[in-house]
Amino acid sequence: MIALLILGFFLTALLYASVGFGGGSTYSALLALAGTDHRILPLISLACNIVVVAGSSWRFARAGVTPWKGALVLTALAAPAAFVGGLIPIDRASFLLLLGASLVLTALTMLIPVSEVKGEGAPTGFAKAMPFAAAPIGFLAGLVGIGGGIFLAPLLHLTRWRGAREIAATASLFILVNSAFGLAGQLAKNGPAMFAGAMAEALPLLLAVVIGGQIGSLMALRVLPVRWIRWLTAALVFIVGVRLLAG
């Protein structure tokens, strides 16, 4: 079982990193299907998220792509909500329901066409309302142990908030900070002993996502068109989400 989990985490990191996300929701789903205690799922998933998106956030920043003013506003509004979401106890049935629904929604959002407009483009009037969506996304992210960028990015594309590269950079930073704050909330809720146990169990999985994330961000886009990768990822996420909802 551990070998299958390692492979699943590796492939998830590779696919998600290639389209600018962390993969937290799918990590949690794979662990849930493997029968892992639902209380430690967010601990492992958020840690893996941080590992995957830290590198991409750094690369975006070094390249001068990150629109710092807008990205920091969205992240600052979401991060406290992610911490609060991480603090809230949730039973296994409710957790799996929310996680499954999040995965299905994630799959659908990944089918939304990505704008190829460079720079800021022509933002719609809804773009100014994006900060109001940040806190609810952050809360859901902390509650189920995901970064939330998978929900934020499609909204940014639909409102033409910025160009595709700027949105990818913003989503990456959003996931990184939300994952850290959500993990802090989970740690405060469950205690350091459970966190230490989860990290000891997750070491092979963390190594798998480090390798998969690097390959995904550096090589995958050169092998397959980004549209194909998004469709493949959406299909896999949808199947896992439906599997969770079906029990």
Instruction: Report how many helices (DSSP H) and strands (DSSP E) the chain contains, helices first.
Output: 11, 0
- Chain mean pLDDT for the chain: 84
Residues 6+ away with beta carbon under 8 Å from 115: 121, 157, 160, 163, 164, 167
Report d(CA 149, CA 189) in Å as an integer: 23
Residue 118: pLDDT over 60: no
The structure tokens 């296994």 sit at: 92
Q: How confident is the model at residue 186 (pLDDT cuts 50, 70, 90)?
A: very high
The residue type at 140: L
Of the listed ranges 29-33, 157-161, 209-213, the one predicted with least confidence:
157-161
CB 28, CB 146: distance < 8 Å: yes
pLDDT digits (tens, 9 = 90+) for 136-150: 999 999 988 889 888
The rounded percent of the chain whose pLDDT value lies above 90 is 29
More confident of the two residues 115 and 31: 31
User: What pLDDT is recorded for position 60?
Assistant: 84
pLDDT digits (tens, 9 = 90+) for 60-102: 888 898 999 999 999 999 999 999 999 999 888 898 898 888 8
User: What pLDDT is recorded for position 183?
Assistant: 94
User: What pLDDT is recorded for position 208?
Assistant: 95
Residue 3: pLDDT over 50: yes
The rounded percent of the chain whose pLDDT value lies above 70 is 90
Report d(CA 25, CA 69) in Å as an integer: 27
pLDDT digits (tens, 9 = 90+) for 152-177: 888 887 788 888 788 888 988 999 99
Report d(CA 88, CA 13) in Å as an integer: 27
Q: At what angle do helices 2-18 and 192-215 cross, to 10 degrees?
A: 60
Residues 6+ away with beta carbon under 8 Å from 81: 134, 135, 136, 137, 138, 139, 142
Angle at 30 between CA 231 and CA 145, to 5 degrees: 90
The residue type at 114: V
Rg of the chain on CA atoms, in Å: 16
Report d(CA 45, CA 205) in Å as an integer: 10
User: What pLDDT is recorded for position 223?
Assistant: 59
Q: How confident is the model at residue 119 (pLDDT cuts 50, 70, 90)?
A: very low
